[in-house]
Amino acid sequence: MKHLIAPSVLAADFGNLQRDIEMLNQSAAEWIHVDVMDGLFVPNISFGFPVMETLRKHAGKPLDVHLMITDPDRYVERFAQAGASVITVHYEACTHLHRTIEAIQGAGCRAGVALNPHTPVQLLQDILPMLDLVLIMSVNPGFGGQKFIPNTYKKIAELCRLPGAKDSLIIEVDGGVDSGNIAALRKAGAHAFVAGSAVFSAPDPAAMIAELNQIASI
Ligand code: DX5
Ligand code: ZN
């Protein structure tokens, strides 16, 4: 499967959000990653529907929505209506994960499950055949700019070996991804690469996206 870069708008300049989205539209990014935090599941609050509205209005690429919220079932429908293409929920935040995945797909979106660094991939065994995407967190969720956790490589490789996944399953990695680890992550078996600070703190963010895309294609 082809790789793809999903820059995270969490690291964008919210005073110039339209400008930053236009940059992403013109760049080698395939998706736009949208980090929604509720201050409960994670110790930080990011943004909600008003920002989704701006993204929907200006983004020319699929919105990859990562819900770091407790009981995401409550908001699946609204995020679908707000323009999400992919909705990813946390394994740790769902009591009835099977029902949540059905709701996401029933709303016309691709469904993903995210795993915190401490959550083993084997817990996905029974739900894996339903999933369109698995997001391996390579930092503890809640903040951009954190240090990459190297155990991620092993988790990606283990996930690749689990039976029952769709051929089209996308393995996404999120947190501390940069030009120094993206090749090894690709080799381990990941397809989709979220990058926040690596992109937006670069002097030329579009050039950094192109560079990440280029390195991941080897
Ligand atoms: C962390 C978020 C990430 C974050 C990545 O909770 O899920 O998507 O924006 O940012 P960097 O690339 O700076 O680690
Ligand atoms: Zn994310």
Model confidence pLDDT, tens digit, residues 66-118: 999 999 999 999 999 999 999 999 999 999 999 999 999 999 999 999 999 99
**What value does the mean pLDDT of the chain take?**
98
Structure tokens at 23: 């940059």
Q: Which residues contact 32 (CB under 8 A, 6 or more apart)?
A: 6, 7, 9, 21, 24, 55, 59, 61, 62, 63, 64
CATH of the domain at 23: 3.20.20.70
3-state secondary structure (DSSP) of residue 31: coil
pLDDT of residue 218: 78
pLDDT of residue 90: 99
3-state secondary structure (DSSP) of residue 19: helix
Q: Which residues contact 165 (CB under 8 A, 6 or more apart)?
A: 128, 129, 131
Return the ligand number nearest the Cα of 46.
Answer: 1
Question: What's the predicted TM-score (pTM) here?
Answer: 0.98
Output the CA 7–ligand 1 centroid distance in Å: 9
- When divided into structural domains, the chain yields a total of 1
Q: Is the CB of 144 under 6 A from ligand 1?
A: yes
- Structural domain for 56, as ranges: 4-216
pLDDT grade for 148, boundaries at 50, 70 and 90: very high
For ligand 1, mutation pick of 149, 174, 177, 212 (most atoms within 8 Å of CB): 174
Model confidence pLDDT, tens digit, residues 16-50: 999 999 999 999 999 999 999 999 999 999 999 99
Q: Is the CB of 145 under 6 A from ligand 1?
A: yes
Output the CA 125–ligand 2 centroid distance in Å: 22
